[in-house]
Amino acid sequence: MLSCQHITQKASDYIEGKLNFWQRLKFRAHLRACIHCDNFLRQLRLVIGYSSRAGHQCASEAEVQQVLHRIRQAESTSS
């Protein structure tokens, strides 16, 4: 049987579908028996759902203008 520590190491592989059939079976058997690991996995899924949105950053107006300015410079040099 997998230990709780193994579960925390393999949790992303489980979520990403990267475990083989037997590994998945053992992983699920552990989750059914262990409320803490079930909780851990639920929290990891929540982290993924949250950070996909919280991790996105937009450029500031100054950064946008700097990029556009350098494009104009490069294009005027090459033409």
Partner 1 sequence: MELEDPDWVHKLCAGDEAAFAELVRRYHPQMVAVARGIVGDSIADEVVQEAWISIHRNLSGFQQRSSLKTWVYTIVCNAAKTRLCKEHKHRGQRDNSLEPAGMPAEFFDENGAWREPPSDWHLDTPEQLLEESQLQECIDKTLSLLPEQQRAVFTLREVEQLDLSSVRNKLELSDSNVRVLLHRARLKLMQVINHYQETGTC
Q: What residue ranges bind partner 1 (CB under 8 A)?
A: 3-6, 8-13, 16, 18, 36-37, 39-40, 43-44, 46-59, 63-64, 67-68, 70-71, 74-75
Q: What's the min distance (Å) between Cβ of 2 and partner 1?
A: 8
Helix residue ranges, H only, 1-79: 4-15, 21-33, 35-54, 61-78
DSSP assignment of 39-60: HHHHHHHHHHHHHHHHT--PPP
Q: What's the min distance (Å) between Cβ of 21 and partner 1?
A: 18
Closer by beta carbon to partner 1, 12 or else 28: 12
Q: What's the min distance (Å) between Cβ of 19 and partner 1?
A: 11
* Contact in structure between 15 and 45 (CB atoms under 8 Å): yes
